[in-house]
Chains A and B, each alone.
Chain A
Amino acid sequence: MRYVDEFRDPKLIRQAAAEIRRLARPDRHYRVMEVCGGHTHAIYRFGLEGLLPGNLELIHGPGCPVCVLPMGRTDDGLAIAELPGVIFTAFGDVMRVPGTKGSPLEHKARGAEIRMVYSPLDALKLAQAHPDRHVVFFAIGFETTAPSTALTLLRARQLGVANFSVFCNHVTIIPAIRAILDSPGMRLDAFVGPGHVSTVIGCRPYEFIAEDFGKPIVVSGFEPLDILQSLVMILRQLADGRAEVENQYARVVPWEGNLPALRALEEVFELRPYFEWRGLGFISQSALKLRDAFAEWDAERRFTVPGIRVTDPKAAQCGEVLKGVLKPPQCKLFGRECTPERPVGALMVSSEGACAAYYHYVHRAAAAASLER
Chain B
Amino acid sequence: MKTASEQAALAALAAPETEAAASGVRFKDPRIEMAHGAGGKASRRLIEGLFAPLLLRGRLAAPLADAAHLEVDGARIALTADAFVVRPLRFPGGSIGELAVNGTVNDLAVSAARPLALLVTFVIEEGIASGTLEAEVWAMAEAARRAGVEVVGGDTKVVEHGKADGMYITTAGVGRVDPRVRCAASEVRAGDQVLLSGPIGDHGITILLARGDLELEADLRSDTRSVYPMVERLLAAAPDGVRWMRDPTRGGVATALNELARDSRLGIALCEEEIPVRDAVRGACELLGLDPLHIANEGQFLAVVAPEHAAAALAAVRSAPGGEEAVIIGEVRAEPARSVLAAASYGGTRIVDMLVGDPLPRIC
Contacts and interface: CB of A to CB of B under 8 A. Distances in A.
Q: How large is the interface on B (under 10, 10 to 19, 20 to 34, 35 or more residues)?
A: 35 or more
Nearest to A228: B346
B216 to A, nearest CB: 9
A360 to B, nearest CB: 5
B174 interface: no
Given A1-B286, A65-B363, A371-B269, A364 B336 contact: yes
B102 to A, nearest CB: 29
Interface stretch (B27-35, B162-170, B175-183, B222-230): B27-35
Given A93-B363, A118-B214, A371-B343, A362 B351 contact: yes
Contacts of B279: 1
A49 to B, nearest CB: 8
Contact of B350 (A4, A46, A92, A142): A46
B349 A368 contact: yes
B351 A360 contact: yes
Contacts of B343: 47, 371-373
Contacts of A122: 213
B295 to A, nearest CB: 15
A308 B339 CA distance: 42
Nearest to A3: B286
Contact of B364 (A109, A110, A145): A145
B351 A93 contact: no
A46 B348 contact: yes
Contacts of B213: 117-118, 122
A351 B42 CA distance: 18
B335 A370 contact: yes
Given A47-B344, A47-B348, A50-B348, A91 B363 contact: yes
Interface in A76-113: 91-93, 95-96, 105-106, 108-110
B221 interface: no
B362 A368 contact: no
Contacts of B34: 105, 109
A342 to B, nearest CB: 10
Contact of B362 (A14, A350, A362): A350
Given A4-B286, A93-B363, A367-B335, A224 B349 contact: no
A325 interface: no
A116 B350 CA distance: 29
Contact of B35 (A50, A51, A105): A105
B84 to A, nearest CB: 22
Contacts of A144: 363-364
A144 B363 CA distance: 9
Interface residues of A, number: 58
A364 B351 contact: yes
Nearest to B282: A1
Contact of A361 (B282, B289, B351): B351
Contact of A368 (B351, B356, B360, B364): B351
B341 interface: yes
B361 interface: yes
A145 B351 contact: no
B160 to A, nearest CB: 19
B282 to A, nearest CB: 6
A283 interface: no
Interface string A123-150: 0000000000000000011101100000
Scoring A1, A145, A363 by chain B CB atoms within 10 A of each residue's CB, the highest score goes to A1
A50 B345 CA distance: 13
Given A105-B357, A373-B343, A50 B31 contact: no
B347 A106 contact: no
Contacts of A13: 346
A96 B363 contact: no
Contacts of B344: 8, 10, 46-47
A50 B341 CA distance: 14
B130 to A, nearest CB: 28
Interface string A32-74: 0000011001001111101100000000000001000000000
A149 B356 CA distance: 29
A310 interface: no
B353 interface: yes
Interface in A192-223: 196
A46 B273 CA distance: 12
A145 B343 CA distance: 33
A224 B39 CA distance: 30
Contacts of B42: 341
Contact of A106 (B33, B41, B356): B33
A365 interface: yes
Contacts of A38: 364
A345 interface: no
5 closest A-B pairs by CB = A47-B348, A367-B336, A92-B360, A13-B346, A10-B346
14 contacts: A1-B286, A37-B364, A38-B364, A47-B343, A48-B348, A91-B363, A96-B357, A105-B34, A117-B213, A141-B363, A341-B42, A365-B336, A365-B339, A365-B349
Interface of A: 1, 4, 8, 10, 13-14, 17, 37-38, 41, 44-48, 50-51, 65, 91-93, 95-96, 105-106, 108-110, 116-118, 122, 140-142, 144-145, 196, 224, 340-341, 350-352, 359-368, 370-373
Given A48-B348, A109-B33, 10 more contacts: A4-B286, A8-B344, A10-B344, A14-B347, A46-B344, A46-B350, A93-B363, A106-B31, A118-B361, A364-B351
